[in-house]
A and B are shown apart, each in its own frame.
Chain A
């Protein structure tokens, strides 16, 4: 079975903290993605990666960075968390970049106080 695992379901952090959100996939997929999901806005792409140590900006990269040191792991980093980064964060992976299904993790609900 396809599996994308996000390390935490719920996180509470304080403004200014450095936050790491971890995502691991066990399907040997080349591509991994980070989205944030907000009511009324749907899903917006933050960053994606098509290979190890490779990253590209999505639609809303400001305030975020990513790391992909191993094929199966893709980390989202909030260098200095702010209250407007309170959101649901979803990780996804896919085998092929073109025309392929993305598989999603269950999400991490982050609250920044």
Chain B
């Protein structure tokens, strides 16, 4: 079946540190891949997405590249800020089958950035 596995948190970094949150997926065909972010007390919002192999999604200094050969979509940022403290969710939508169009989420990774 379709599934998403992301690194467990919490992750604690100092301001300006480099961030990587690992995400791997299992899916048939060619899923679309997403990173959503949930700031404290808020709902989820889309951070970035990629719809085909080798696509790079980017937004607010975050990047992730769709790697079909390693079934991965790791999130990176070169220099985190305190305002990046949030929970990050990796997700996919299958390209076929009964779940087509539905988001399948990883368990989330909580990031805390200290000043």
The interface size bin for chain A is 20 to 34
Partner of B105, one of A43, A99, A107: A43
Within 8 A of A (CB), among B52-105: 89, 93, 100-103, 105
Quick one: closest A residue to B106, CB to CB? Answer: A42
Min CB distance, B55 to chain A, in Å? 12
- Bound-state Cα–Cα, A44 to B108, Å: 12
Contacts A41-B107, A42-B107 known; A98 to B41 CB distance under 8 Å? no
- Bound-state Cα–Cα, A42 to B107, Å: 4
Min CB distance, B91 to chain A, in Å? 8
Partner of B46, one of A43, A44, A101: A101
The interface size bin for chain B is 20 to 34
CB of A97 within 8 A of CB of B100, answer yes
Contact residues in B for A48 (Cβ distance below 8 Å)? 102
CB of A104 within 8 A of CB of B102, answer no
Min CB distance, A42 to chain B, in Å? 4
Within 8 A of B (CB), among A53-93: 58, 90, 92
Contact residues in B for A90 (Cβ distance below 8 Å)? 43-44
Min CB distance, B39 to chain A, in Å? 10
10 CB contacts below 8 A, A to B, read A33-B102, A40-B107, A41-B107, A42-B89, A43-B103, A58-B102, A97-B101, A99-B32, A100-B101, A102-B44
6 other contacts beyond A40-B107, A42-B107, with CB at 8 A cut-off? A33-B102, A41-B107, A44-B105, A97-B100, A106-B41, A107-B43
